[in-house]
């Protein structure tokens, strides 16, 4: 059985059909990219999967259980995580404190954080930091970190609820090519090691082609193509929607996956 089954999912905003009857599957151990030009419906799809938006129609099942209609918190506890963005207000906290906060939130104890929770879940947080290669920087304030390292911490925070499926919205936005590749190689390694699945949106085609196991392409709310890098790169409809956007389908050798 697929980990995630999306069937005939739609979302209407007034007269605008932002997501139009899309269906796709996602399997354990898979890194699936959701791509498409601006306004294609990627974020709307994400927000329906994690319950932040109500769907107009359709079904989203996680291991056979319907998620549509459930509250975001419930969906998170069932194993759908999403990477956090470390809010400016938390940049002064240390790396490990930020991860502890994600754990406290998972264990529904966020209210106690600033008062009594300084040591709660520290070991668990350090273990998560180890998985993203950030344990040596555990006690540094997040505000001192390089951007790529902040993204690693955000990834560790996303793992705090031990997700079966992790949603990553433009994980490499604003990153230099080397940092991008490191983050995606790490993500791919975690997908395999933890036997989880990742669904990510991404504007950088070289990242998508180098790291995604499979990709689905949306345009104006419709799913127009689905498949591996070769299939997508040569797909006439995909070339048509990207024509003139400045995005290239040339494979960039420097971004080949190394794992």
Q: How many residues bind ligand ATP (CB under 6 A)?
A: 11
36 or 79: CB nearest ligand ATP: 36
| Residue 80 touches ligand ATP, criterion: CB under 6 A | no
| Residue 111 touches ligand ATP, criterion: CB under 6 A | no
| Residue 41 touches ligand ATP, criterion: CB under 6 A | yes
Task: For residues 51 and 75, give the distance between their C-alpha atoms in angstroms, rounded to a whole number.
Answer: 7
| Residue 131 touches ligand ATP, criterion: CB under 6 A | no
| Residue 52 touches ligand ATP, criterion: CB under 6 A | no
18 or 153: CB nearest ligand ATP: 18
| Residue 82 touches ligand ATP, criterion: CB under 6 A | no
46 or 121: CB nearest ligand ATP: 46
DSSP tag of 141? B
Q: How far is the CB of 48 from ligand ATP (least distance, A)?
A: 10
| Residue 18 touches ligand ATP, criterion: CB under 6 A | yes
CA 170 to the chain's CA centroid: 7
Whose CA is closest to 47, among 228, 169, 210? 169
Q: How far is the CB of 21 from ligand ATP (least distance, A)?
A: 14
Q: How far is the CB of 95 from ligand ATP (least distance, A)?
A: 28
- Torsion angles phi and psi, residue 85, rounded to 5: -105, 125
| Residue 51 touches ligand ATP, criterion: CB under 6 A | no
Q: Quick one: the chain helix, strand, coil %, rounded to 5?
A: 40, 25, 35
47 or 161: CB nearest ligand ATP: 47
What is the maximal distance between C-alpha atoms in the chain? 58
Contact pick of 6, 30, 36, 215 for ligand ATP (by CB under 6 A): 36
Task: For residues 75 and 222, give the distance between their C-alpha atoms in angstroms, rounded to a whole number.
Answer: 25
Ramachandran assignment for 33, one of left (phi > 0), alpha (psi -120 to 50 degrees), beta (any other): beta
Question: Residue 99 corresponds to which tokens in the numbers above?
Answer: 């991860």
- Number of neighbours of residue 120 by Cβ within 10 angstroms: 17
| Residue 39 touches ligand ATP, criterion: CB under 6 A | yes
Question: Residue 217 corresponds to which tokens in the numbers above?
Answer: 């392409």
Residues near ligand ATP (CB under 6 A): 13, 16, 18, 36, 38-44
């Amino acid at each position: 059985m697929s980990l995630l089954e999306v069937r005939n999912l739609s979302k209407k905003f007034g007269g605008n059909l932002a997501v139009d009857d899309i269906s796709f599957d996602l399997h354990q151990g898979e890194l699936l990219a959701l791509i498409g030009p601006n306004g294609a419906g990627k974020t709307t799809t994400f927000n329906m999967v994690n319950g932040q938006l109500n769907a107009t129609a359709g079904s989203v099942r996680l291991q056979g259980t319907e998620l549509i209609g459930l509250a975001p918190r419930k969906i998170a506890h069932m194993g759908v995580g999403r990477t956090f963005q470390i809010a400016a207000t938390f940049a002064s906290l240390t790396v490990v404190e930020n991860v502890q906060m994600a754990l406290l939130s998972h264990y529904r104890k966020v209210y106690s954080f600033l008062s009594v929770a300084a040591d709660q879940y520290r070991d668990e947080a350090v273990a998560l930091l180890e998985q993203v290669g950030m344990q040596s920087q555990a006690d540094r304030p997040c505000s001192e970190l390089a951007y790529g390292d902040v993204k690693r911490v955000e990834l560790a925070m996303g793992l705090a609820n031990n997700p079966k499926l992790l949603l990553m919205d433009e994980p490499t936005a604003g990153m230099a090519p080397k940092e991008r590749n490191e983050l995606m190689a790490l993500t791919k390694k975690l997908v395999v090691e933890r036997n989880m699945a990742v669904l990510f949106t991404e504007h950088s085609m070289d990242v998508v082609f180098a790291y995604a196991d499979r990709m689905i392409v949306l345009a104006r709310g419709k799913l127009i193509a689905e498949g591996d890098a070769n299939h997508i790169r040569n797909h006439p409809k995909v070339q048509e929607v990207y024509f003139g956007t400045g995005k290239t389908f040339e494979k960039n050798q420097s971004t080949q996956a190394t794992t």
